[in-house]
Amino acid sequence: MNGVADIARDGGVAWLGGASSVAPRWDLLFGAMVLLCGTVALGVCIAILAFSIRYRAGAGRGEPGPQRTRAIEIAWTATPLAIFIVLFVWAAHDFVELYRPPADALPVAVVAKQWMWKLQHRNGRREINELHVPLGQPVRLLMTSQDAIHSFFVPAFRLKQDVVPGRYTGLWFTATKLGEFRLFCAEYCGTDHSQMLGRIVVMPPAEYTRWLGSGNEQPSLAQYGFALFRSLGCSGCHEPASTVHAPSLDGILGRTVHLQDGRTIVADENYVRDSILVPRKDVVAGFAPVMPSFAGQVSEEDIEALIAYLRSTGATAAGAGAPR
Amino acid sequence: MSSVSDVIVRPPSAPAPAPSPSYLEDGHTLRSWLTTHDHKRIAILYAISITVFFFIGGLAATVIRLELATPAGDLVSHDTYNKLFTAHGVIMVWLFLIPSIPSVFGNFLIPLMIGAKDLAFPRLNLLSWYLYVAGGAIVLAALALGGVDTGWTFYAPYATMFSNSWVALTLVGVFVVGFSSILTGLNFIVTVHTLRAPGLGWFKLPLFVWAHYATAIILVLATPVLAITTLLVVAERLLQIGVFDPAHGGDPLLFQHLFWFYSHPAVYIMVLPAMGVVSEIVPCFARKRIFGYRFMAYAILGIASIGFLVWGHHMFVSGQSLAASLVFSLLSFLVAVPSAIKVFNWTATLYKGSIRFDAPMLYALGFVGLFTIGGLTGLFVASLALDVHLTDTYFVVAHFHYIMVGGSVMAYFGALHFWWPKATGRMYPELWGRIAAVLIFVGFNLTFFPQFLLGLRGMPRRYHAYPPEFHQLHMASSMGAVVLALGYLLPLVYFAYSLRATCRTSANPFGALGLEWQTRSPPPTHNFDRPPTVPEHVYDYATPTKAEPARTPAAQATSP
């Protein structure tokens, strides 16, 4: 069988072809669990087989077993429990890292729809079903969906994140291998789910910079967002000079915001998004809820651009308080 | 308790001469079956109807495996493929697995095992079956009209807003079947509480009864949440109210929380009764007491209760909060502890036994092996970091098939072979029983083990067409499915054959000790000719020579 031949040729891990900074840790944990669980499974099988042969009917070895079983029971309750807690902590430790994007991660806006991926780089360059990224540099995707739930899955990176309508989810990674890697939609999304494919192209940084600069000249995401900020009339109320009393949005991302109902939240992309579409949801303390909803007037791409603009204002740490 | 019915309810059709007819002979008309209140007859009705659904669901799986034998989606269209895996999931989960062991064997055996004449509410029991059939017919109608393409998980907003198929009708069917579950659960709970024979304390109950008691509690507590969820999906679909669809102000993750709050415990609805079956078969054929009876009973309760608190492990990459994911992962590891205890105890029961390898035992041992692999791979997907890569791939598909098919279906077949002589008074050809058990075990592993490797390599679920690098493993899986299909068809033939009069067997061909074996096979309508005697220990197989049966089927014809 060729599948088996592949394993033999590449060696187990190469067969999986890890290509991100999390892949080696994933492979290590997976390998450790295969070893551990394989041992347990083998032990159970050997015990069943050995007992089946030794104590088969007719062998005449049957006799009443031990009547006092409590100590054994406690031992094989406590041992798995201890092992499970170690495994939980190990896996949780690696998982928490996925929620901590580095501050300098390159932002990419992702909008999924039936059945394609639309991606936009910081300088405004757009891609469909392809994502070019530089080798060795962290990249952070800010993702939402226009329709059903999708899921951004790159097996070589050992990463996957659902892309949900009505909210942002994030995913960050650092590619560690040059080449092209498959991108799948992993959440069933209708007729052409299995055609919602793409690829990640990992390039040397210099080449990536060249690639990013090529193509049609267009405004950066933040510049486009600023234009929207003006044309939609956001600036009419939210600029310090305005006559309408509205909170300043300078450096809003990552800032702690006190709300009218007493809650305190750290403003992230989802907060900004909700404030544009459902302004009455999180009203800032001391302000009247006068802002109209922009639902239906702005596309998902527009909101991502507005967020990129807001992120460029003030001195905020990119990624602070960000969704995964 | 049932003293009134003891006196008054005599079957008016039976004109009293000494050996009352067996439940099978107590009325031969179709009407006598369709209006029966006898738990044993209702169990037979269930057995026939779930067998029909098992093979319809299996047919869908067959087309799926045929399609996946090649990378291109060339056998059926995308939409047809999507409808096939949805039909496979919906039918197998709600119309086969959930009712399988409880509604057939729980129904047949619980009253016998506790020395009762029937379940506490015989009419309600019949209503459960009619609801099941009605719900199943609605689902089949939705299939016939064009099918549904959402996957059995019905994720919103796809199912509520984007799918252009028979979502609402299918969900109405699921809703109705759910009430069948609730009523069956209620019946079991009341029966176990109130109808135990005098002297049959809780810790003298067979583990089969414990498992069904715990299952019944899950059925009663979790199924209403499924009913609520299906109604909300139907309401959003038909009335555009914003519950799950963010475009109307809803929250798609709310759907997942509600759905898995039912559907994760539903896994335990499928697997706890299977554990109960195996706990009856293993001691009988090892001629040993079950190891650690009390721990086994506590483990059942532990699984049933912690099982309610782990649903969020289906949602680690859904966008739920980090804190939620951490808690759900920890609890998922905890629920694995009682499962581990059970595997160790079944294995230890074999120690110093006197083991026979009749067909039921082969299925039971197959269950232990496959459930162990299913459980251990469950640890992989409970591990937060690992699940990020593995979820929604074939690794998960393989994992839950090891639990549901390798576990529950294996145990269902074990139960069929173990209690077939009890229910029919006939014995199937033992050799064919063993051949089928081996075929199913081997075919199952050939089908599903490659899927672990597929998932590890990144093959996503629910793909009609797939990239070429996955071809060999898919091909291997499809070829294994051929063996598995043969294994499933074989028992149909020899069970049918065994109904011939020449296959009559004794009342207790396996020398089993449960109360259900103290009466005739097949049992009389009211189960016991004289009250059963409650033994000191339910699995008192301690003396290996005791009740050693001479196992020559058909040779030991006794009076029917």
B244-275 tens-digit pLDDT:
999 888 999 999 999 999 999 999 999 999 99
CB contact under 8 A, B162 and A52: no
- Residue in B79, B82, B329 closest to A88 by CB: B329
What residues of chain A lie within 8 A of the CB of B287, using their CB?
A: 57, 62
Bigger pLDDT: A211 vs A16: A211
Helices (H), A143-297: 205-213, 221-231, 234-238, 269-277
What integer pLDDT is reported at residue A9 of this predicted model?
40
- What does the pLDDT read at residue B548? 46
> Of B163, B85, B152, which Cα lies nearest the Cα of B463?
B85
Cα distance between residue A156 and residue A162, in whole Å: 17
Q: Which residue of B has its CA nearest to A92?
A: B384
CATH value of B41-462+470-518 in 3.50.50.60, 3.40.50.2000, 1.20.1250.20, 1.20.210.10: 1.20.210.10
Rg (CA), chain A: 27
Q: Does position B142 have pLDDT exceeding 60, yes or no?
A: yes
Are A41 and B326 within 8 A, CB to CB?
Answer: no
Which tokens belong to B150? 């959402």
Residue A169, classed as helix, strand or coil, is strand
Amino acid at B221: L
* Cross-chain Cβ contact B385/A29 below 8 Å: yes
Q: Residue B16 above 60 pLDDT?
A: no
Q: Which residues from B are below 8 Å from A185, CB to CB? A: 460
The answer to whether A167 contacts B467, with C-beta atoms less than 8 Å apart, is: no
What are B490-510's pLDDT values in tens digits?
999 999 999 987 888 999 999
**Which chain A positions have a beta carbon within 8 Å of B352's beta carbon?**
55, 61-65
| Model confidence band, residue B542 (pLDDT cutoffs 50, 70, 90) | low
Domain boundaries defined on chain B: 41-462+470-518
As a whole number of angstroms, the distance between CA B42 and CA B61 comes to 28
Find chain B residues with C-beta within 8 A of A84's C-beta: 333-334, 336-337, 379
- Chain A: nearest CA to B487, how far in angstroms? 22
Give the closest-approach CA distance of B202 to chain A in angstroms.
19
Taking residue B194's Cβ as centre, other Cβ atoms within 10 Å add up to: 12
DSSP B489-503: HHHHHHHHHHTSGGG
Q: A69 or B44, which is more confident?
A: B44
* The token pair that represents B223 in the structure block: 């199924």
For residue B372, list chain A residues with Cβ-Cβ distance below 8 A. 40-41, 44-45
Whether the pLDDT of residue B8 is over 80: the answer is no
Residue given tokens 């791979």 in the structure block: B377
Which tokens hold the place of B459? 């093959």
Of the candidates B349, B353, B379, the beta carbon closest to that of A37 is on B379
pLDDT reading at A65 higher than 70? no
Cα–Cα distances (Å) from A134 to A85, A182, B113, B343, in that order, read: 38, 16, 68, 49
Q: Directed axis angle between helix A70-97 and helix B359-382, to 10°?
A: 40
Which residues does residue A120 pair with via DSSP β-bridges, in sequence order?
Answer: A109, A126
Split at pLDDT 50, 70, 90, the class of A317 is very low
The CB-side HSE value for B520 (13 A sphere, CA atoms) comes to 20
**Strands A179-185 and A198-203, bridge-based pairing:** antiparallel
What ipTM was predicted for this assembly? 0.90
**Are B86 and B159 within 8 A, CB to CB?**
no
- Phi, psi dihedrals of residue A163, rounded to the nearest 5°: -115, 115
The enclosing H or E element of B197 equals none
What per-residue confidence (pLDDT) applies to B543? 53
DSSP 8-state class, residue A61: -
Q: Please state, in angstroms and as integers, the Cα–Cα distance from residue B525 to each residue in A118, B47, B529, following that order.
A: 67, 18, 10
B350-377: average pLDDT: 95
Taken as a whole, chain B contains a residue count of: 560
What are the chain A neighbours of B347 within 8 Å (beta carbons)? 44, 47-48, 51
Report CA dihedral (B215, B222, B390, A79) to the nearest 10 degrees. Answer: -50
pLDDT 10s digits, A70-100: 888 898 899 999 999 999 999 999 999 999 9
Q: Are strands A150-154 and A198-203 parallel, antiparallel or unpaired?
A: unpaired
For B287-318, how does the pLDDT look when each residue is reduced to its tens digit (9 = 90+)?
999 999 999 999 999 999 999 999 999 999 99
Contact present, B26 and B11 (Cβ < 8 Å) = yes
Q: How far apart are CA B87 and CA A90, in angstroms?
A: 38
| Average per-residue pLDDT for chain B | 92
pTM confidence score: 0.90
- Look at B538 and B23; give whichever has higher pLDDT: B23
User: Under DSSP, is residue A235 helix (H, G, I), strand (E, B) or coil?
Assistant: helix
Count CA atoms within 13 Å of residue B257 on its CB side.
12
Residues of A in contact with B476 (CB under 8 A): 1, 3
Alpha carbon of B556: minimum distance to chain A alpha carbons (Å): 21
Q: Are B158 and A188 inside 8 Å of each other by CB?
A: yes
Contact B337 A81 (CB under 8 A): yes
Q: State the helix-helix crossing angle for B359-382 and B410-424, rounded to 10 degrees.
A: 150
Q: Looking at residue A316, what is its pLDDT?
A: 43
- Other Cβ atoms less than 10 A from the Cβ of B496: the count is 10
Element (H, E) at A144: strand A138-145
Query: What is the C-alpha to C-alpha distance for residues B131 and B187, in angstroms, rounded to an integer?
Result: 15
Q: How many angstroms separate the CA of residue A265 from the nearest CA in chain B?
A: 15
Residue B560 has pLDDT above 80, yes or no: no
User: Which residues in chain A have Cβ-Cβ distances shorter than 8 Å to B149?
Assistant: 190-191
Q: What is the pLDDT of residue A296?
A: 85
DSSP secondary structure string for all residues of B232-261: HHHHHHHH---SS-GGGT--HHHHHHHHHH
% chain A with pLDDT above 90: 56
A-chain residue closest to B160, CA distance = A148
How close, in Å, is residue A232 to chain B by CA atoms?
21
More confident of the two residues B531 and B390: B390
Distance of residue A118 Cα from the nearest chain B Cα, in angstroms: 19
Structure tokens, B49: 């109807």
Q: DSSP assignment, residue B18?
A: S
Say which amino acid occupies A55. Answer: Y
Distance from CA of B251 to the nearest CA of A (A): 8
* Option in A165, A166, A187 nearest B392 (CB): A187
Q: Given B161, B340, B386, which is nearest A80 (Cβ)?
A: B340
Q: Is residue A42 within 8 Å of B392, Cβ to Cβ?
A: no
Q: B386-435, pLDDT tens digit by residue? A: 999 999 999 999 999 999 999 999 999 999 999 999 999 999 999 999 99
Query: What are chain A's domains?
Result: 106-213 (2.60.40.420), 221-312 (1.10.760.10)
For B506-558, the DSSP string reads -S-TT---SGGGGS-SSPBTTS-SSPPPPPSSTT---STTTTPPP--TTT---
DSSP of B262-283: HHHHHHHHHHHHHHHHHHHHHH
Looking at the partner chain, which of A65, A93, A162 has a beta carbon nearest the beta carbon of B291? A65
**pLDDT, tens digit, 9 for 90 and up, residues A102-133:** 989 999 999 999 999 999 998 889 999 999 99
Verify whether the Cβ–Cβ distance A37 to B380 is below 8 Å.
Answer: yes
**Cβ proximity of B21 and B109 under 8 Å:** no
A51 and B384 within 8 Å at the Cβ level: the answer is: no
Q: Which helix (H) or strand (E) holds B211?
A: helix B207-239
Q: Which residue is closest to A39 within chain B, CA to CA?
A: B376
Select from A59, A91, A149 the Cβ nearest to the Cβ of B158. Answer: A149
For residue A159, give how far its alpha carbon lies from the nearest alpha carbon of chain B (Å): 5
